[in-house]
Structure formats: C-alpha cells, structure tokens
Structure 1
C-alpha cells in the first residue's frame, strides 16, 4: 500500500470519529428548521414576484422575518378564535335552560317578576336565569321559537336564524352570558345584571311591537 493511500485511510478514520462528525450534523432545533424552511419558501415566492428582492441581504431577511411573524400571529389568533367558537357551540348544545316543567309552564311576566325580586335581594345569578327564561317564553309566545324542556340554547338559536338573523345573533350573546353565570359560576355584579336586563327588555319591547302572540293570532 502506498504512503498516499495509507495517509488517506488514516485521515478518513479520523474524520469518521464522533467528535468530528458532530460538525456535519444539523444541530438546529425543530422550530429553527421550520422557520428556515418557511423563510426559504417565502423568499423564493417574493423573489419570483419582485425580481429585485434579495432574501440574502439584511433588509431582505428583515422583511421575511416581519412577514412570517405577521402570518404566524394571524394563524395563532385564527386557531384560538376557532377553538373558542367550538367550545361555545359545545356548551350551547349540551345545556337546557329550562330545568323543570314548572319553569316552562310559567308565563314570561311571572319570570320577570321573580327576576326583579331576586335582583332586589342581590341574587343576580338567579335574577339572570329568570330574566333569560322570560326572554325565551316571549319568543315562544310570538312564534319565533318553540320552547321545550329538552331543547338547548343552540336549538333555539338555530330556530331564530330562520326567522330573524339579527335577533339570533344577539340571542347567541345573551345565551352565552346566561350560561357563564348559571353554569360557569362566573361572578356577576349589579352593573352587569342591569346591562343584561336592559338588553333583554329592549328586545322584548321590539318583539312585542313587531310580532303577534299566539292569542292575537287565535282571535283572528
């Protein structure tokens, strides 16, 4: 074996050792690799659109970083929003606002009277419950939905969408507040309740002026 071949083999043996091979390994973290891949893809895309764009420069690299941060931020916000909407829909689909047939048999005026009484006693969680049940019952009275013991607020929301989309959107928010205070143990202040009561009463007045009740239709 020639001296050249012998030295070459020795060099290959040395370079194959672990302490030397480590320099050829990619020691970047997974996030670093993903970031570099996205930067490379975005850089090529921008260069194909803007021929003067050079991702290798300091300015070009800064532009890529800003764009990627904005895109990732928007994606994170979008995912969080989708998850929140999903969780809210699941909550609406599971819980029935009427817990007993007695509550369903009352008319909305009686629920309003009970809500006022609880509000005077500073029992705002119970006041909120009866205020919302009164709202459901006037919606039933005006043929905007059909109140039933087994139905959830999501069922009612779905019915309202067929009749009045604006009312349905406000109902959705009112139902979420009702469920957070009733089932989620969220603390409710007197100011919160007064605002909630005012919103519902405004809708009840508008509904009474716009839609006929079962009785009025029957008399005709």
Structure 2
C-alpha cells in the first residue's frame, strides 16, 4: 500500500504542478497587468470627474485636474514622437558648397557613396544634384546660400505637380542629415526617383529679374528656353 500524502505535501505538489509552463501560457504578462491597473485607475478618475460636486471632499475636481494633466502629457508625447526633431541648422545651412560643381558631379558622387553604403552622404549629394540641375536648366536662379527647405519651396512653385515630392525628398534629407535618423537604400531611392522625375518634367519658365528688352521673347530673354 502507498503511504498517504499529507496536506502540506499535497499542497507543495499542486504548487509545483501549477508552476509548469503549460499553466502559465494564458497568464497575462506584467505589461498587461500594469495596463489593466492603469485602465482601472483611469476609469475611477473618470467616475469621480463625472460628478465633481457629488463628492464633498473635492475629489471630483482633483480627478478632472489629473485627467487634464494626463491629456496634456499624452499630447506632448505624441507631438514629440511625430516631430521630425530637425536641427535648426537645417533651415540655415546652404545645400550647395561655394566651389564650382555640376549636377553630373553630384550624381556621380551620390552613386559612388551609395555603392559604398554611405546612405546619408549619398542622399545629400543627390539632393545637391537636384539643386544644381535646376540651376543649370535655368529653372531656379543660381543663389549662394540656398537651403534645402528653400529649394523645396522655390522648385515647388516651378514644378507644382512635384511640390509634394520635393517636400518629401527634403524631409528625408533633413531627417537623415540633421535628425539622427539612419540613411537607407530605400530613402536614397526615393530621392533618386525625385531627381529623375524632375529631369523629365517641364517646369514653368523662370521669371526674369528685370524688365525684358523690347523685341526679346520670354524664351530667349537670357539665351534660351527656361527648361
């Protein structure tokens, strides 16, 4: 005959059995338990805030204040997460350097950097190629100190059908170059595609800076068509 199992021993055996992984499968995680407690706390706050005058100790008003604070913190967190966190330099740093260069130079440099996996530098060079190309085609007037944001705004007026794509391309550059976000092949491909679409586009003619001489048309005021 088997020896009878005592109460304490049976309890220990049951505890060991229940500690097995198979019984823990449906047990909520610590994060789920914390969320449940937080949700219960919020519900309690809302129930107190529903009728602030019904609580003689002013607990309802305290609940309202706490809810407002939580809402403000949540909004601030969302804004912080969605904000591109650009460095202020992105609105000040000129995109092109002072030394002479061509759009082809920047495209070649971009492709070389992309082949080496230096995506941030490749994205910058490709955006520089866009800026220089638009200047070479007289879509934009050459202007030292033009920033990436200014490029998007000015080129968007000349090529309105690509204005959104220009802003998106500059956003990629700002995020990668100033916002500490990683450059990737996909982001470089987006800027490269923007370059190709702009090369195929027929922008609006550039407005002359001064009055056009008599007998000179808009197309030949500065030596040729403005595209």
| TM-score bracket, shorter-length normalisation | 0.5 to 0.7
8 Å Cα contact 2:156/2:163 also seen in 1: yes
State yes or no: 1:121 paired with 2:141.
Answer: no
- Give the aligned partner of residue 126 of structure 2: 131
8 Å Cα contact 2:86/2:179 also seen in 1: no
> Of 156, 159, 163, which aligns to 2:158?
163
- Give the aligned partner of residue 146 of structure 1: 141
CA–CA distance in structure 1, aligned partners of residues 65 and 114 of structure 2: 59
- Give the aligned partner of residue 27 of structure 1: 59
Per-residue deviation, 1:167: 2.5
Per-residue deviation, 1:109: 0.9
> Of 196, 199, 223, which aligns to 1:218?
223
Larger helix proportion, structure 1 or 2?
1
Per-residue deviation, 1:107: 0.9
Q: Cα deviations across residues 43-79 of structure 1 (Å, max 9, x unaligned)?
A: xxxxxxxxxxxxxxxxxxxxxxxxxxxxx8xxx59x9
Count of aligned pairs: 153
Ranges in structure 2 where 5+ consecutive residues have no aligned partner: 1-54, 207-218
Assess, with a 3 A threshold, how the Cα gap between structure 1 residues 168 and 31 changes in structure 2: closer, same or farther. Answer: farther
Assess, with a 3 A threshold, how the Cα gap between structure 1 residues 124 and 84 changes in structure 2: closer, same or farther. Answer: closer
- CA RMSD in angstroms comes to 3.9
TM-score under structure 2 length normalisation: 0.52
CA–CA distance in structure 2, aligned partners of residues 180 and 189 of structure 1: 12
CA–CA distance in structure 1, aligned partners of residues 151 and 187 of structure 2: 24
8 Å Cα contact 1:109/1:134 also seen in 2: yes
Assess, with a 3 A threshold, how the Cα gap between structure 1 residues 170 and 117 changes in structure 2: closer, same or farther. Answer: same
TM-score under structure 1 length normalisation: 0.54
